[in-house]
Chain A
Amino acid sequence: MSNKRDIQPYWRPDFKIQSTLPDIKVVRTHFSISFIAIILMLIAAGLVLQREYQAYSLRSSVETIEQGIQRAEALDQQHLKMSQDFVKFARSVEELQRFFRAPLRAHELLVALAQLKPEECVFSKVTFSESIVAAKGRSTRAKSKAAPQMNYTIQIVGDVQELTTLTRFKQALEQSAVLSVENYLVTVTETMQQRNVETGIIPIKLSITLSPARSKGGKK
């Protein structure tokens, strides 16, 4: 602290002209400025070169790929054409499957009914028909969006001597493998008329309906 107080002002004027004096710093200013400028220029040049090299590599890569595409293009077009033809023909085959889409076949159904029929039961008429049902939905929008579906009805008219025969036949129909169709709900309802007093025969009518079952998500 005492040393600071002892500092005295220059006791004579300084006539030196700084700019004319030689640079006696360890690293000359001239050198520093030139060095920094050159370094900056070199960095910029490096970056430009790196970018240009990258662009050159990309350009050659693009050219190579383009040549590859040109070579493969004709074959690809041919494959695409074949694929389109395949889809077209596949659709026509698919439509054929759609044409035959039905849960029951007439001859198989008749055989199944004949096998399930109890001996004491006599059929006078068997009818099978299909109909279109409108979409079931809570809202009008849901109804309009859902596609219509097929409904199948089998009606059997006949006679039985005993009502137990009818019950047995109904149970057999409900448990039948032919009638348990995937995605369809089977309902069997029976109706009977007055018993004929003279013969003891009871005219019966069985109605079997296969209606589209609703899926878990609410859709059918």
Chain B
Amino acid sequence: MNRILDTAKEYPLAAISLVLFVALAMMLVLRGGVVDELTMQETELMARIQAIDTNVKNSNNLEQDLQVLQRDSVSIRQRLFKRDQRAVNIDFFYSFEDQLDIVISEVSQLSVEDPALAKGGPNALKHYSTIAYTIKVAGTFQEILELLHAIHQADAFIRVADFQVRVGTGQEREAEHLSAQLRVIVLAEKP
């Protein structure tokens, strides 16, 4: 110990420098992680600000697009069948009689949902439900065709899933007189 003190006394400048060197080296070691930590923090924040910038760029015209989409969505909702209005819904199909001068003999609501559009089906729907109807109609080929087209053009969302058109039987058996049975699916509000 004395020898060290003697050497320090002999070289005071070197001794002070050495002490300072050790202190600075310790400081370097102890505070070495600060820069890494800050660099990491900066990288994360840069990524966050870049994400915000990208969001800003991507949301260009988003407000207007959203407004259009909201309007469309409201319009779609207004055109959906209401499940609890059974009579109104069935009357909707009978109303084609007045429009097309056609005889609709039967409209019946089916109790089962279309399996293709139900959960697990190939075209399963989540936001809407569907109601299936069977429509029996008699008329000429042109009248039946007009009915199919009218159904396609209707305000409500209707799709003809199955149909059968055959030559009329019994008293109605005429070359131009046909009978048809349609299974139509209507888009309805979610219950």
Contacts and interface: CB of A to CB of B under 8 A. Distances in A.
Interface of A: 30, 33-34, 36-38, 40-41, 44-45, 47-48, 51-52, 54-55, 58-59, 61-62, 65-66, 68-69, 72-73, 75-76, 79-80, 82-83, 85-86, 89-93, 95-96, 98-102, 105-107, 110-111, 114, 123-130, 132, 147-150
A132 B115 contact: yes
Closest 3 CB pairs of A and B: A44-B24, A37-B17, A37-B14
B13 interface: yes
Interface in B41-61: 41-42, 45-46, 48-49, 52, 55-56, 58-59
Interface of B: 10-11, 13-15, 17-18, 20-21, 24-25, 27-28, 31-32, 34-35, 38-39, 41-42, 45-46, 48-49, 52, 55-56, 58-59, 62-63, 65-66, 69-70, 72-73, 76, 115-117, 120-123, 125-128, 130, 141, 144-145, 148-149, 151-152, 157, 159-167, 182, 185, 187
Contacts of B130: 99
Contact of B13 (A34, A68, A91, A102): A34
Contacts of A85: 66, 70
Given A41-B17, A148-B121, A149-B122, A125 B162 contact: no
A38 B17 contact: yes
Nearest to B7: A33
Contacts of B38: 55, 58-59, 62
Given A41-B17, A62-B42, A107 B31 contact: no
A107 B143 CA distance: 11
Contact of A41 (B18, B62, B72, B182): B18
Contact of B164 (A61, A69, A126, A149): A126
A101 B123 contact: yes
A62 B62 CA distance: 30
